A and B are shown apart, each in its own frame.
Chain A
Amino acid sequence: MPVGMAFGVLATTIGFTATQAVLCSATALAGAGQFIALNLMKSGADVLAVVTATTVVNLRYVLFGATLSPYLAGMSLPRQALLAFTLTDETFAVNVNDRRQGLSTGASMAGVGAVAWSGWVAGTAAGALAAAWIGDPTRWGVDFAMPAMFIALLIALAEDRRHVSVAALAAALAIGLPALVPLGIVVPASWVIVIASMGAATIGAVVFR
């Protein structure tokens, strides 16, 4: 919700109408990807660059989808499509958590998706409509809304020592990769998350048998 509001405010400040901001949230449901899109649009990037950057940042959803899919075996394609559409960092974390506690069913996953989608879209609408009144959203700490949510999701997903080790390794890679530029190793910023997490998961899968 607060992150959705932040998107609504920021989108209207760079020239989206309220309708466009809400439609963008409702159809893309891309979280961090949407903020990156706004940043690039503000700097005048062309359409292809904006769409490519958001897609690469959201490549983690390929991994999420593959991770969830064993739970979804036997579900019909249209229902899988619906769940895929509402797959976000939050819904993924909640579903994986529920699953571990044996609470997850097809219906509960659909419910989680519906709640997350409504919150994100309603937040965007509220932010877009109240933009003039809210003013500069950074005054309210929205810069930290996304990091705070990721911190909570990280704790929810790091269930044991092996997962904590892999998360720490991914963190070190994510911080270390951009520092390699002086050595001539340039990892594009939008790829850092994907490469760091795939690398750490691979090392984890090899080390922890």
Chain B
Amino acid sequence: MSSGYIWAIIGLMAVANFLVRFPPIAVVSRLRLPAPLMRWLGFVPAAVMGALVAGEVLRPGGEYLITPRSPYVLAAIPTALVYVKTRSFLGATLAGMVFFVAFRALLG
């Protein structure tokens, strides 16, 4: 892999990621939004997370893996409980990794 290729991707990713983040904030915060649009925006965060979690847990690596023997499915449940108990993002992430390694080892 050439160094120029890597640098080009780093540079363009930096620009692209700023462009998806900044204009919506700069423009929308200067407008008065109609109520239905505000209501829609209120549902966006939960919807995005729901879609992300489902994809990561039930289609890890882009392949369906929907079985009770999936370490992704099994680890998801105690991870959720740890977050509910502790309200710590870092704690839940680390606990999730431990549960995942344990279930993967158990299921061979």
Contacts and interface: CB of A to CB of B under 8 A. Distances in A.
Q: Do A and B bind? A: yes
A23 B104 CA distance: 33
Interface residues of B, number: 76
A152 B91 CA distance: 10
Contacts of A107: none
B54 A171 contact: yes
A180 interface: no
Interface residues of A, number: 102
A169 B50 contact: yes
Interface in A173-190: 173-175, 178-179, 189
Nearest to A119: B90
A170 B47 contact: yes
A88 to B, nearest CB: 9
Contacts of B39: 205, 208-209
B53 A171 contact: yes
B96 A151 contact: yes
Contact of B20 (A61, A74, A179): A61
B54 A172 contact: yes
User: In this complex, which of B6, B25, B33, B38 has the most chain A Cβ atoms within 10 angstroms of its Cβ?
Assistant: B25
Interface string A68-93: 11101111010011011101011011
Given A85-B21, A143-B100, A174-B50, A204 B43 contact: yes
A58 B17 contact: yes
Contacts of B55: 174-175, 192-193
Interface of A: 1-3, 14-16, 20, 23-24, 27-30, 32-34, 37, 41, 47, 50-51, 54-55, 58-70, 72-75, 77, 80-81, 83-85, 87, 89-90, 92-94, 96, 139-159, 162-164, 166-175, 178-179, 189, 192-193, 196-198, 200-202, 204-205, 208-209
Given A64-B45, A174-B52, A197-B48, 19 more contacts: A47-B5, A47-B8, A51-B12, A58-B20, A63-B41, A67-B45, A77-B26, A143-B100, A149-B92, A150-B52, A151-B57, A151-B83, A153-B49, A169-B50, A171-B50, A178-B64, A192-B55, A200-B47, A204-B40
